[in-house]
Amino acid sequence: MNFFSSSSLFHFLLVLTICICCVNLVYTTPVKIGKGYRLIAIEESPDGGLIGHLKVKKKNNIYGPDIPYLQLYVKHETDNRLRIQITDAEKERWEVPYNLLPREKAPLLKQTIGVSRKNNPFPLGVSEYSGNELIFSFTTDPFGFSVKRKSNGQTLFNSSSDDSDPYNNLVFKDQYLEISTKLPKDASLYGLGENTQPHGIKIYPNDPYTLYTTDQSAINLNMDLYGSHPMYMDLRNLNGEGYAHAVLLLNSNGMDVFYRGNSLTYKVIGGILDFYFFAGPTPLAVVDQYTEFIGRPAPMPYWSLGFHQCRWGYHNLSVIEDVIANYKKAKIPLDVIWNDDDHMDGKKDFTLNPVNYPGPKLRAFLEKIHAEGMHYIVINDPGIGVNKSYGVYQRGIANDVFIKYQGKPFLAQVWPGAVHFPDFLNPKTVEWWGDEIRRFHELAPIDGLWIDMNEVSNFCTGLCTIPEGRICPNGTGPGWICCLDCKNVTNTKWDDPPYKINASGIQAPIGYKTIATSATHYNGVREYDAHSLYGFSETIATHKGLQALEGKRPFILSRATFVGSGHYAAHWTGDNKGTWEDLRYSISTVLNFGIFGVPMVGSDICGFYPAPTEELCNRWIEVGAFYPFSRDHANYYSPRQELYQWKSVAESARNALGMRYKLLPYFYTLTYEAHTTGAPIARPLFFSFPNIPKLYELSTQFLIGSSVMVSPVLEQGKTEVKALFPPGTWYSLFDMTQAIVTKEPHYLTLDAPLHVVNVHLYQNAIIPMQHGGMLTKEARMTPFTIVVAFPLGASEGEAKGKLFLDEDELPEMKLGNGQSTYIDFYAKTSNGTVKIWSEVQESKYAIEKGWSIEKVTVLGLDRIGGAFEILVDGTEVTDTSNVQFTSEEHKYIDKLEEGDDKRKSMMVDIQGLELPVGKNFVMSWKMGISP
């Protein structure tokens, strides 16, 4: 929940006034800062890496004095990961805490400070330090380094600068760090978020990229939003082959990143330079390597893949019950109902409104929907209301859990009024938070938590006190107007640093509408350094608290994110508008978060505000039904927009969500793949086709997994869509007799009337499907259909797929626990024979559940079936009297823009099967005559 402030004009004028005094506006001509550093010593470190020392060449005071001596640490941590760290050689500096993001520690300064600054065992000039996949090279004076790919010598990163470059050599000051890399103009970059990118998923030259967690709604383009992910993926095409790598700057301080098309410059206001390079070379391999480092994505409960409904403004429990009843009446699937702050007593965390959401009635309601298989999630904001009669606040004060300013809990204002913010870097706070979750769960047995406003958001700015003689807030007007008595805090270098990042797109002070950056956390950590970690640290504490309740797999939805957040939580793209533009923007943000290691992501379907048009809501559910996280959510001040509010939208929802629920086993298997390899659920097309440059900018279509492509309508008034099809055969999932065959990537115009979304399955894939239903609980117990897609009309072909099943609320999503089963599916057609088989790991769970395969659908055969044989666990099934073969000829799309030979081909259905999912089967038949 957030707001779209009616005070936007006031905000703009206030910050514009501040900006007039700023000397380093984003687009001013850059001024050269210093002459960089000189490498004065380098040797092998005890752990097999390199340790070097750098000395500043020419001191200056632009943005503060230079740090005179730096330590360089380089290590090939794995075959495909290289770390390059640069920090102060004589004093420890702020780093992302190792307990939040576990990783190898660099050698301590005291172990390296004695390294001779006179003797350099490496020859002057260029030296190299080679790993299996990457090569680190350096020059000594001025110091610069490059990272190259060993296999082809391609330079991935080059920090050297000459006089003609619009950027500096290395700059390292207390509150200003600058480093750059040259880039080829044909490099395609992705990442550097969170922001709303109007040009699509590919990073666009000269757009601003500022990383600093901010309560700025997603309607704001090219602006620092809720998350900070200082990583980018770089995809280049070399001689027709795509090569991808990624670069992470692990730093939580605010930063601007300038991409000019042929270079990229970081300007960071604190911390250290701690780079990690991931060699790839495929996009999928990059995300695998990246999530291996930052933490694999969290396992998700099966029910979370169902459809979710939320609204800020469900005033009482009867409204919630009415919403559920209307979804049932409209026959639209619904798994999870949400409450924004309406359930709370005075908007205070971990409370229930005694009138509108009385405890006994809410618990009876939850017992009823839980029995049906539905789930319930509520919002939770970090601000704890300052109220001496409020138990959560009392226990927080008693346990000393709040962020402080000059020794006292920092005072801010959010929805309850005056609040303090818990300090999640403090172990005592984590314990207290978990206990509050436990207490609330006893009051209302929720199924997950939605943690919002955790950038952290504050309706006020500066140092505030509670006013005397007036009520704050007074219950009238917008709840987001600051009513505390506040004064600006700008007299410290932390609140007013020398370099002004482009915060909120207007160089707003970094403490604007958040915690004063001179406030302190546990062990004296400054908010200045830890600001962008707030939501991440809260997510970790929430995950720990939820998992401790019943040992179940937690579901957490967090607005603020950082590197590693996907290891604990899902994300939604925040407050968007009900516009066609926002519908388009949502795809790029969802795809970006898959690259960031947060695969469970979605956007508010139909928009958070204002009222969407009926047509837009039709089209949005056709996209949103295929977001990994699929939720309709609306603003308090907007009209109702549940999917049943319009008959036409209800029809589109039944169609699109009907397909989603049939694909649930495929989606769930993808969550397992994400959890074990980091693979995004929703992916850009170049993930499966990295060698096709035409796909590198495509942001209007996306893949689910490697083989299901969604090509939605994203423009008003359109009843067809121009979709780009990579080479091969694509089958419509809504009508599998429809086939598209192309030898080269090109656009096809597809019919797309109001209730139709085009979803296609690629050749060489096998996907598991079920019947669907109104709830994931019932859908997942229906019989399976296995869909096998061969290239159209191929006499020789292969296909493969997989299926993961488990007791979906276990804390871990893994094999070996006795409550999970994994199946690989294979298919081959050759020499007039079709063979389809499965290889099962840990069959016990699936057999106990009684799951069975009732139908196999084979696409693309050049002949129909003949003699048929089935073996289950090596034993032939002799009674196949119930098995039926039916076939239907594939149809070509009429509006094919490039011709093909249009040879005949068949879809074959094998029905009446009763194959246990948990047992190995082999199915084969001789094909009859060609049709």
Contacts of 112 (CB under 8 A, 6+ apart): 45, 51, 71, 89
Residue 341 gets which letter from DSSP?
G
The encoded tokens of residue 391 equal 């138990």
Task: Judge whether 114 lies within some domain.
Answer: no
Task: Judge whether 89 lies within some domain.
Answer: yes
Task: Judge whether 631 lies within some domain.
Answer: no
Domain limit, last residue, from 279, 303, 336? 279
Q: Where does 631-688 have alpha helices with state H?
A: 647-662, 664-677
Task: Judge whether 117 lies within some domain.
Answer: no
Contacts of 871 (CB under 8 A, 6+ apart): 877, 921, 922, 923
Contact yes or no for 642/334 (Cβ under 8 A) = no
Domain CATH code at residue 767:
2.60.40.1180
Contact yes or no for 603/332 (Cβ under 8 A) = no
Domain limit, last residue, from 263, 279, 295? 279
728 three-state secondary structure: strand
- The catalytic residue positions are 452, 455, 575
Task: Judge whether 853 lies within some domain.
Answer: yes
The encoded tokens of residue 669 equal 């298997």
Kindly give the interhelix angle for 647-662 and 614-624, rounded to the nearest 10 degrees: 0
Counts of helices then strands in the chain (DSSP H, E): 15, 53
E strand residue ranges, 239-306: 241-249, 255-259, 263-268, 273-278
What separation in angstroms does the CA of 583 have from each of 312, 577, 652, 885, 928? 20, 8, 16, 43, 48
Task: Judge whether 693 lies within some domain.
Answer: yes
Task: Indicate the residue type of 20.
Answer: I
Between CA 887 and CA 861 the distance in angstroms is 10
Which candidate, 668, 671, 701, places its Cα nearest to that of 683?
A: 701
Structural domains in the chain (count): 2
pLDDT of residue 865: 65
Start-to-end Cα distance in the chain? 58
Partners of 926 in the β-ladder: 833
Domain limit, last residue, from 232, 259, 279? 279
Between CA 253 and CA 106 the distance in angstroms is 19
pLDDT of residue 534: 98
Task: Judge whether 803 lies within some domain.
Answer: yes
> Range of 40's domain?
36-98+123-182+245-279
pLDDT of residue 111: 53
877 three-state secondary structure: coil
Contact yes or no for 702/710 (Cβ under 8 A) = yes
Contact yes or no for 172/91 (Cβ under 8 A) = no
Q: Are strands 702-704 and 682-683 parallel, antiparallel or unpaired?
A: antiparallel
pLDDT of residue 650: 98
Contacts of 99 (CB under 8 A, 6+ apart): none
Dihedral of the CA atoms 726, 730, 735, 738 (nearest 10)? 100
pTM for the whole structure: 0.95
Residue 520 gets which letter from DSSP?
B
Between CA 409 and CA 433 the distance in angstroms is 17
Contact yes or no for 126/145 (Cβ under 8 A) = no
pLDDT of residue 18: 38
Q: Which residues of 764-791 are buried (b: 16+ CB within 10 A; e: fewer)?
A: bbbbbbbbbbbbbbbbbebbbbbbbbbb
pLDDT of residue 112: 53
Contacts of 661 (CB under 8 A, 6+ apart): 306, 333, 770, 772, 773, 776, 779
The encoded tokens of residue 365 equal 């309601």
Between CA 515 and CA 458 the distance in angstroms is 7
Between CA 446 and CA 449 the distance in angstroms is 8
Half-sphere exposure of 589 (CA within 13 A, CB side): 33
Query: Which residues of the chain are modeled with pLDDT < 50?
Result: 3-29, 113-120, 123-125, 896-897, 899-900, 931
| CA–CA–CA angle 380, 550, 631 (5° rounding) | 45
Between CA 576 and CA 560 the distance in angstroms is 15
Between CA 332 and CA 309 the distance in angstroms is 11
| CA–CA–CA angle 890, 894, 899 (5° rounding) | 90
What separation in angstroms does the CA of 51 have from each of 23, 107, 122, 146? 37, 9, 12, 16
Task: Judge whether 228 lies within some domain.
Answer: no
pLDDT of residue 929: 53
Domain CATH code at residue 129:
2.60.40.1760
* Greatest alpha-carbon span in the chain: 92
pLDDT of residue 7: 37
Examine residue 538 and say whether the peptide bond preceding it is cis (omega within 30 degrees of 0).
Answer: no
